[in-house]
């Protein structure tokens, strides 16, 4: 992906990035998915969630129980849910049209892991498929 200085830059801890990469490797050729927690433009934690899609090699569906409990914890003062990650076993780096249909334009973060690389997007009303604005990720 070419560098683009106009992109918003987010930090991701190396622990969170490695958690995503190891999850991707562990479930390949199925899609890995999980939840992202952290603070202002900073991803501190990536928590694997079960992929409950009936076709996990081609789709992902974060276990709603994991999602709801994260949202409930956030409301009760727990870690802030920044968004979601999933992997593309095909190696394709960009969000798919299916991803665009799934995503709400809610400003949450979407990370996509493909062959050990991680790309970041903000879900809104512009960008790829009219839904995903690319961001730059700075791993520390």
Q: Where do runs of H (alpha helix) occur along 1-140?
A: 14-27, 64-75, 97-102
Nearest to 35 by CA among 90, 98, 100, 80: 80
Q: CA geometry: angle at 21 spanning 111 and 108, to 5°? A: 15
Residue 30 binds Zn ion, judged by CB under 5 A: no
Q: Minimum Å distance from CB 57 to Zn ion? A: 12
Taking the least distance from each CB to Zn ion, the nearer of 31 and 70 is 31
Q: Minimum Å distance from CB 121 to Zn ion? A: 10
Site string for Zn ion, 93-122 (x = CB under 5 A): ---x--x-----------------------
Taking the least distance from each CB to Zn ion, the nearer of 53 and 69 is 53
Taking the least distance from each CB to Zn ion, the nearer of 53 and 96 is 96
Q: Minimum Å distance from CB 60 to Zn ion? A: 7
CA distance 30 to 24: 8
Q: Are 11 and 42 in contact (CB under 8 A)?
A: yes
Q: Which residues 61-100 are close enough to bind Zn ion by CB under 5 A?
A: 96, 99
Taking the least distance from each CB to Zn ion, the nearer of 73 and 100 is 100
Q: Minimum Å distance from CB 5 to Zn ion? A: 26
CA distance 88 to 93: 7
Nearest to 99 by CA among 123, 115, 63, 67: 123
Tell me which residues touch Zn ion (CB under 5 A): 96, 99
């Amino acid at each position: 992906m070419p560098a683009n200085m106009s992109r918003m830059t987010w930090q991701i801890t190396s622990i969170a990035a490695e958690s995503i990469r190891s999850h991707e490797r562990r479930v390949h050729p199925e899609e890995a998915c999980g939840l992202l927690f952290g603070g202002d433009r900073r991803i501190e934690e990536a928590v694997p969630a079960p992929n409950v899609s009936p076709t996990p090699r081609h789709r992902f569906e974060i276990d709603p129980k994991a999602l709801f409990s994260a949202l409930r914890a956030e409301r009760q003062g727990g870690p802030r849910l920044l968004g979601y990650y999933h992997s593309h076993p095909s190696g394709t780096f960009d969000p798919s049209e299916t991803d665009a249909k799934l995503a709400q334009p809610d400003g949450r973060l979407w990370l996509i892991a493909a062959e050990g690389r991680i790309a970041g997007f903000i879900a809104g009303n512009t960008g790829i498929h009219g839904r995903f604005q690319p961001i730059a990720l700075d791993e520390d």
